[in-house]
Amino acid sequence: SGLKHGEDFCLAYSPERVDPGNVSFHTKNTPKVLGAITPEGLEIGKKIYSKAIDCLHLVSSPKVAEMVKILENTYRLVNISLINELALLAGKMGIDIWEVIEAAKTKPFGFQAFYPGPGIGGHCIPLDPFYLEHIAKKFNFDLSMIHTAGHIDMMMPHRMSIKINTALNRHQKAVNGSKILFLGVAYKPNIDDERESPALKIIDEIAKKGGQVSYHDPYIANIKTENGSYKSVDLTLKVLNDADCVVITTNHANFDIDFIVENSKLIVDLRNAVKIASEKVYKL
């Protein structure tokens, strides 16, 4: 266009900060990071955002603002991947990782609880840190921690499919030919977003092994995986009774867990929705 920054226009940048489903923090009361190329641009950006946001944190440049976003997402990627790997080990050792986390939470300093699950979803945490890993290579720098965390996360859906297979085997059944009902395909509870959800990858893997897959999600009526399309089924007594295995992939608050446990033959709980394991409840 021939327009010059600082003369014809100003540029300010504020990275997204949003936690879908969070009832305590929303757009207005979540502090917003803001950076601009010039002081004038920063002042204009501040005046615009302050009309809608309670608290602004100003930084020296758009680069710094974007690095804040990458740090926040990398922090979650690394810590979730860490607790997922420890959960797998704890299972082999006969230790309840959920009990371990609850005990660790009593430390009033130096610890923040993260919880295991079938993998990381959404459009930020599974993607953003790897943009930084790519850029780092241009500086001849190897972000090995991001790479390792990404590998752990990438393998979680496969490991969850193995867990489903093991649970069925212990009940003298194979994945091939079994009816397997997945509860929840959103990447986190109480939202209608299945982007990058590990549930979709697990569904695909189980379907490839011959499992007769179906799912129920009160927030998502239809899904499309890499290898198929599905419609949400009603969570009825008959649907639960007919399933050879029920897999809890997302712990939506409106799931009646007692009803599900009572009327299911076998449950693989990947979200700690069922608090006590039993002969028919296998936990992550």
CA distances from 276 to 95, 166, 253 (A): 13, 19, 18
Average pLDDT estimate for 53-67:
97
Residue range 70-118, pLDDT digits in tens: 999 999 999 999 999 999 999 999 999 999 999 999 999 999 999 999 9
State the amino acid at position 235 in one-letter form: L
Mean pLDDT of the chain: 95
Assigned token pair, 96: 């309840």
- 129, HSE (Cβ side, Cα atoms, 13 Å): 25
- Cα 255-259-262 angle, rounded to 5 deg: 140
Q: Is the pLDDT of residue 29 over 90?
A: yes
User: What pLDDT score was predicted for residue 117?
Assistant: 96
State the amino acid at position 263 in one-letter form: N
Residue range 204-238, pLDDT digits in tens: 999 999 999 999 999 999 999 998 999 999 999 99
Cα 95 to Cα 93: distance, rounded to the nearest angstrom: 5
Residue with tokens 């939470």: 105
Q: How many residues does the chain have?
A: 284
Known catalytic residues are: 124
Average pLDDT estimate for 279-284:
92
User: What pLDDT score was predicted for residue 53?
Assistant: 97
Cα 190 to Cα 180: distance, rounded to the nearest angstrom: 22
Cα 43 to Cα 6: distance, rounded to the nearest angstrom: 13
Q: Is the pLDDT of residue 167 over 90?
A: yes
Q: Is the pLDDT of residue 20 over 90?
A: no
User: What pLDDT score was predicted for residue 277?
Assistant: 83
* pLDDT confidence tier of residue 247, bands split at 50, 70 and 90: very high
- 199, HSE (Cβ side, Cα atoms, 13 Å): 34
Query: Would you give the DSSP letter of residue 265?
Result: S
The H or E element containing residue 199 is helix 198-208
Phi, psi of 36 (to 5 degrees): -145, 165
The separation between the first and the last C-alpha atoms of the chain, rounded to the nearest angstrom, is 56
User: What pLDDT score was predicted for residue 6?
Assistant: 86
Cα 231 to Cα 171: distance, rounded to the nearest angstrom: 28
The H or E element containing residue 99 is helix 97-104
Residue range 110-165, pLDDT digits in tens: 999 999 999 999 888 888 899 999 999 999 999 999 999 999 999 999 999 999 99
Average pLDDT estimate for 56-78:
96
Cα 5 to Cα 21: distance, rounded to the nearest angstrom: 38
Assigned token pair, 115: 């919880």
What proportions of the chain, in percent to the nearest 5, are helix, strand and coil? 40, 15, 45
Tell me if 78 sits within 8 A of 145, measured CB to CB. yes
User: What pLDDT score was predicted for residue 135?
Assistant: 93
Assigned token pair, 245: 């295995």
Task: Tell me the whole-structure pTM to 2 decimals.
Answer: 0.90
Q: Sign of torsion, CA 76 190 264 231?
A: negative
Q: Is the pLDDT of residue 188 over 90?
A: yes
User: What pLDDT score was predicted for residue 37?
Assistant: 95
User: What pLDDT score was predicted for residue 78?
Assistant: 96
